[in-house]
Structure 1
């Protein structure tokens, strides 16, 4: 891999290939997706002035559970929970098969 890979846009392809070769592509993709969603939820909460206490109330859950939801390293959060959280801030989660 060299600087030309970056210019031609093949660096991402090489990284995907590396993850697949290591047998961790699906796990890495799932973890990255969860982290992005948690980050986006936090950003939207800040933009809308929603406190963690208010967000927990909207989700009918505890503040501790909300902290787990927003923790980018917590992989136990379900898609249904993430979808409920997105709905609580007026958004939806969009997934697609590629």
Structure 2
């Protein structure tokens, strides 16, 4: 009988062993950010085109920002979006 090397470890340990933890974390963070921006858009009655105009950017940039799998979001884009919606960004590092 073979022993499963992952039994007794956390899912984070499993992802780290396979070299996927950083990518999975980045996608999870991006999903939260995209969701929060979508919620702010709904709360303020702002559509994508209006947000793009307020940010002085293209609708394509807004679409990429709201794409939960595109982890290339910059702090500049995120803060411009938040500001355009009447919010601000808070970034925090936590003990790993």
Please point out which of 14, 29, 32 is paired with 1:33.
Answer: 29
Between Structure 1 and Structure 2, whose CA radius of gyration is higher?
Answer: 2
Q: 1:24 aligns with which of 17, 20, 25?
A: 20
Gaps of at least 5 residues in structure 1 are 1-12
Detail structure 1 runs of 4+ shifted over 3 Å in the superposition.
none
Distance in structure 2 (CA, Å) of the matches to 1:91 and 1:54: 16
Alignment length, in residue pairs?
Answer: 86
1:62 aligns with 2:65: no
Greater share of helix: 1
Tell me the C-alpha RMSD between the 2 structures.
1.6
Q: Which runs of 5+ in 2 are unaligned?
A: 1-8
Who is 2:40 aligned against? Answer: 44
TM-score by length of 2: 0.77
Deviation string 1:35-64 (CA, Å, 9 cap, x unpaired) is 110111011101110111110111001112
- Report the TM-score, using the length of structure 1 for normalisation: 0.76
- The superposition leaves residues 11-32 of structure 1 with CA deviations (integer Å, 9 ceiling, x where unpaired) of xx81222222222212211111
